């Protein structure tokens, strides 16, 4: 549950961080280093899910990663060369869109993750997802450093099309794991 609270705090950091110095024009960074930092932050997050790297400091790490991700979004918006008013509306629209999508994803996955967390299978699922996220981050990192696409990046481009199936799979795993766990608990109680 602490992990989900940290994720919620991270999502609340994003609106402030998207209006960072890069958008205002105080700090100009080339896109490649920012994209490398974004990929690296995803890798660190995945490794932290496998084995806590910053126990008790997650909110600070989340805020730092939010700033890095804000730099990436700000770079895109600053390339549009908009005047202050349209730029402010663009930042607002981007933030609202990101927040709504995050809330939607949380609403679709959190009930299943909570149910799954009540079972012994949760650790296995968490570790598997963290491992997959680390592989994705390494693939993205390799793409950003080399400038060449790879099969991991190509697979990640297709993932949004399979998101409903992934959520359904999560629900099936959670329901099955919970059912088996309850069955085992009943058997133990009868013994």
Other CB atoms within 10 A of residue 174 CB: 23
Whole-angstrom Cα distance, residue 164 to residue 172?
A: 12
Dig out the tokens for 9 from the structure: 């705090």
Q: Token pair 């549950």 is at which residue?
A: 1
Dig out the tokens for 27 from the structure: 């700090």
When pLDDT is cut at 50, 70 and 90, the band that residue 163 belongs to is: very high
Q: pTM (2 decimals)? A: 0.75
Across 9-18, 36-45, 106-115, the highest mean pLDDT is recorded for: 106-115
pLDDT in tens, 62-106: 888 888 888 777 777 777 788 888 888 888 888 889 889 999 999
pLDDT the model gives residue 20 = 47
108 contacts 167 by C-beta, under 8 angstroms: yes
Other CB atoms within 10 A of residue 42 CB: 20
Give me the count of residues in the chain.
Answer: 191
Q: Token pair 């799954």 is at which residue?
A: 116
Q: What are the residue boundaries of the structural domains of the chain, listed by start?
A: 2-190
When pLDDT is cut at 50, 70 and 90, the band that residue 27 belongs to is: low
pLDDT the model gives residue 95 = 82
| N-terminal to C-terminal alpha carbon distance within the chain | 32
């Amino acid at each position: 549950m602490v992990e989900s609270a940290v994720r919620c705090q991270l999502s609340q950091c994003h609106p402030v961080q998207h209006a960072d110095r890069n958008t205002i024009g105080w700090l100009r960074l080339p896109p490649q280093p920012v994209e490398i930092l974004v990929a690296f932050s995803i890798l660190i997050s995945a490794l932290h899910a496998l084995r806590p790297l910053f126990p008790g400091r997650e909110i600070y790490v989340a805020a730092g990663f939010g700033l890095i991700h804000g730099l990436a979004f700000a770079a895109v918006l600053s390339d549009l060369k908009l005047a202050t008013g349209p730029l402010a509306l663009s930042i607002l629209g981007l933030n609202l869109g990101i927040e709504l999508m995050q809330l939607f994803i949380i609403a679709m996955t959190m009930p299943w993750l909570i149910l799954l967390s009540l079972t012994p299978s949760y650790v296995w699922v968490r570790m598997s997802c963290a491992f997959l996220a680390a592989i994705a981050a390494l693939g993205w990192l390799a793409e950003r450093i080399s400038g060449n696409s790879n099969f991991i990046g190509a697979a990640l481009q297709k993932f949004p099309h399979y998101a409903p199936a992934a959520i359904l799979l999560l629900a099936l795993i959670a329901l099955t794991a919970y059912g088996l766990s309850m069955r085992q608990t009943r058997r133990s109680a009868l013994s």
